Amino acid sequence: MRHLLIATFATTGLLAGTALLPASAVAQAETTQVLKTELQGEEGREANIVRFEVGPDWETDRHIHPGHVFVYILEGTIEVDVEGKDRQTFSAGEAFYEMPDLPMVARTAGTDEGATFVVFQVGPTGEPLMVPTQ
């Protein structure tokens, strides 16, 4: 079953291409498309890099990633709840990997600061970074 994809604009006014976010996260995130490119020799696959700046109360809806996602935290701290795993917390200077198609929720940790992080996804061409799920 294919997921319904909802296109959104980043709050910076730039179209974030495949950086589609659940509605609750859009209101709280500024995104900048850094790079989006087809992978030579990997038909039907692309790399997508997006920078996120989020506030202290930022939280995503439950979602999946259709591709392999690598996240590097530049500032602040975020918590990640992946279905079937213990909650993990990552701070500035740390990176983590998210497998495709695992339901999850992410949020800023701590009440006084937001976070800035870079998301790098390798996945199917034209798929978003995030797909809302139940």
Q: What percent of the chain has pLDDT over 70?
A: 79
Write down the domain spans for the chain. Answer: 23-132
Q: Residues 84-95: what's their mean pLDDT?
A: 97
Is the pLDDT reported for residue 64 higher than 80? yes
Amino acid at the residue 36? K
Of the candidates 42, 68, 53, 61, the residue with the CA atom closest to the CA atom of residue 123:
68
The pLDDT confidence band at residue 112, using thresholds 50, 70 and 90, is: confident
Is the pLDDT reported for residue 26 higher than 90? no
How far apart CA 61 and CA 25 sit, in angstroms, is 7
Decide if 7 contacts 19 (C-beta within 8 A). no
SS3 breakdown of the chain: % helix, strand, coil, rounded to 5? Answer: 5, 50, 50
Is the pLDDT reported for residue 107 higher than 90? yes
Is the pLDDT reported for residue 27 higher than 50? no
Decide if 19 contacts 34 (C-beta within 8 A). no
Is the pLDDT reported for residue 87 higher than 70? yes
Q: Which residue has the higher pLDDT, 14 or 129?
A: 129
pLDDT at position 123 is 96
Angle at 98 between CA 90 and CA 112, to 5 degrees: 30
As assigned by CATH, the class of the 23-132 domain is mainly beta
